[in-house]
Amino acid sequence: MRTNVALATIMSDASYEFTPCPVCGAVAATEVAGVDDIRAEVERLWAFQGRRLDGETPICRLIDRVVFSQGPPLRLVACDTCAHVYRNPWERREALERAYRNAQASSISFEHLYRAQRPAFAAQARRLLATAGASGRGLEVGSYVGAFLAAMQRTGWSFEGVDISRDAVAFAADHGLNVALGGIEDVHPGRPYDAVVVYNTFEQLYDPVAVLCSARRVLRAGGLLALRVPNGTFYRRWRARLRGPFAAFAVRILAHNNLLSFPYRQAFSQRSLSLLLDRAGFAPVRVVGDTLVPVADHWTTWLGAVEERGVKWLERLVQRGWRAPWVEVYARRRPDAAGDRRAALATAP
Ligand SMILES: [Zn+2]
């Protein structure tokens, strides 16, 4: 009853709407976490970060640790048909875009993120080169501070980025990166790209299907799409352990991967992502399981940094492919007309 009253109160501000499964359209879903469960996760996250961060840590360094562009969900469900995990109700398009468009961070915070993310994006750049070839033209959707674009600079690839945050685009441009304000729907290349990548952004989009169809439009036949998304099945498995004897370990596993309190719009299952790619005219060619990029920095206690390295090392060792907290999926644009028909159907009302 308390949960229902809280939901009804929040829903009355008109920023939220109910939705069927955004991947398969099914209505039947199972609740993963309610208002009180999410509140308990947020409290655990603050306690976790409070233990591992220096007491003098400035507020701006809490961005992407306990403060995210998307606030915590009201309620999370999993689709009974495709196991997709999503907020329901979730933020309307205007409320969501406002949150990202207004996402501001100080230039110091952007610089910290840029430096912290570069080593991890160098590894992603190597994986892209191994899958897509040594050279080509590419587009990154949601390029943010530009760490991936920077990692691709000394390769045979020419990469551009788009992002809807004016501050992030200005920061990346100041670092000499080729970025533009906007989304993939605003991109009209003279000739098709060889690769489109969407890293740590796809799960936050209002309409991922429309983005995949745009990716198909700007990619050449056989061109590569790379997505990096949180694993919804992983989240469900480990959040179920928050109540058991392994609760302390489950907190660490989820928090080190930015999954505690679920600051995303949705997270994928193997089935839901395969379904989405197939409908948009893409054929998966490679799956790589991974952890979140390292986040320990100057403000993290030495014990916190050592623990993070240890937990992520162990996870990368034993949690491969769709057992991992984050999953990179590489898929090729189907060259056939059937792919175009599927993509057209995917955007049909
Ligand atoms: Zn579904």
Angle at the Cα of 89 (from 343 to 101), degrees rounded to 5? 70
Q: Give how far Cα 141 sits from Cα of 73, 133, 181, 204, 212, Å.
A: 24, 20, 11, 12, 11
Question: For residue range 291-329, what is the model confidence (pLDDT) as tens digits?
Answer: 887 777 777 888 888 888 888 888 888 788 999 999 999
Q: How far is the CA of 76 from the centre of ligand 1 (A)?
A: 13
CATH topology of domain 38-72+200-347: Rossmann fold (3.40.50)
Q: Which residue carries 């991974």 as its tokens?
A: 290
Find the 35 Cα to ligand 1 centroid distance in Å.
22
Q: Ligand 1 centroid vs 79 CA: distance in angstroms?
A: 5
Cα 23 to ligand 1 centroid, rounded to whole Å: 5
Q: Taking residues 333-345, report their average pLDDT.
A: 66
Question: Among all chains, which residue has been given the structure tokens 């990202």?
Answer: 100
Q: What is the pLDDT of residues 223-272, one digit of tens each?
A: 999 999 999 999 999 999 998 899 998 999 999 899 999 999 999 999 99
CA angle 111, 56, 51 (to 5 degrees): 100
pLDDT exceeds 70 at position 47 = yes
Integer Cα distance of 143 and 255 in angstroms? 24
CA of 82 to the centre of ligand 1 (A): 4
Q: What is the pLDDT of residues 97-139, one digit of tens each?
A: 777 666 555 556 788 788 878 888 888 899 999 999 999 999 9
In the chain, the percentage of residues whose pLDDT exceeds 90 is 59
CB contact at 8 A, 198 and 216? no
Mean pLDDT (whole number) for 4-12: 56
Q: Which residues does residue 300 pair with via DSSP β-bridges, in sequence order?
A: 53
Task: Report residue 1's pLDDT band, with 50, 70 and 90 as the boundaries.
Answer: very low
Mean pLDDT of 165-193: 93
Predicted local distance difference test score (pLDDT) of residue 320: 85
Would the pLDDT of 349 be above 50? no
- Distance of CA 279 from the midpoint of ligand 1 (Å): 13
Q: Is 59 helix (H, G, I), strand (E, B) or coil?
A: helix
Give yes or no for a contact between 187 and 198, defined as CB atoms under 8 angstroms apart.
no
Look-up of token digits 């952004």: 201
Beta bridge partners of residue 284, listed in sequence order = 331
pLDDT tens figures, 50-103: 877 776 666 556 656 656 666 789 999 999 999 999 999 998 888 777 776 665
From the CA of 299, how far away is ligand 1's center (Å)? 41
Contact, 277 vs 209, CB < 8 A? Answer: no
* pLDDT, average across residues 11-25: 84
- Distance from the alpha carbon of residue 310 to the mean position of ligand 1, in angstroms: 35
Distances 220 to 216, 332, 334 between C-alpha atoms, Å: 8, 10, 9
Centre of ligand 1 to C-alpha 78, Å, is 8
170 has a pLDDT exceeding 70: yes
Question: Quick one: average pLDDT of 185-203?
Answer: 93
CA–CA distance, 214 with 217 (Å, rounded to integer)? 5
Token look-up 């920077």 returns 150
